[in-house]
């Protein structure tokens, strides 16, 4: 098993106020700290955890999936077995380690939905 639960999901928005109103005022999330990622956005938190990442820009309908960008899962253990399985299945992937040591693996599901796995630092 490669997942321990949903980490976050990311959406595009061309209206920060409307998005903040829905997720914060209506659903009860709170806007919180977001690292400097080089593009505008906001992270919305539930119980001190950023579960919705909002990318701000005019890319809302840039793909057939509309505002939906990707889904991310908390990875369990080492990402190597997942990478080996993706390679064995001929599934394209990208892996990287980000500044906080989180090891990430990205791929697409059979329908083109981007899937991200975030594994703890080694």
pLDDT of residue 79: 95
Can you give the pLDDT at residue 61?
Answer: 60
Cβ atoms of 67 and 13 within 8 Å: the answer is yes
Residue-level pLDDT at 88: 92
Rounded average pLDDT over 85-96 = 95
Q: For the whole model, what pTM was predicted?
A: 0.72
Residue ranges per structural domain of the chain: 3-119
* Class level of CATH domain 3-119: alpha beta
Q: Is the pLDDT of residue 62 over 70?
A: no
Q: What digits encode the pLDDT tens for the residues 19-52?
A: 999 999 988 899 999 999 989 999 999 999 999 9
- Token digits of residue 61: 């309908």
């Amino acid at each position: 098993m490669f997942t321990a639960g949903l980490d976050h999901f990311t959406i595009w928005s061309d209206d920060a106020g409307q998005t903040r109103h829905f997720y914060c005022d209506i659903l009860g999330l709170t806007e919180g700290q977001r690292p400097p990622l080089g593009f505008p956005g906001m992270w919305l938190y539930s119980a001190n955890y950023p579960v919705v990442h909002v990318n701000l820009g005019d890319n809302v309908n840039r793909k057939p999936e509309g505002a939906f960008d990707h889904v991310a899962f908390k990875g369990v253990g080492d990402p190597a077995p997942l990478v080996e399985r993706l390679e064995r299945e001929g599934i394209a992937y990208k892996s990287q380690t980000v500044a906080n040591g989180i090891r990430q693996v990205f791929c697409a599901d059979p329908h083109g939905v981007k899937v991200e796995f975030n594994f703890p630092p080694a």
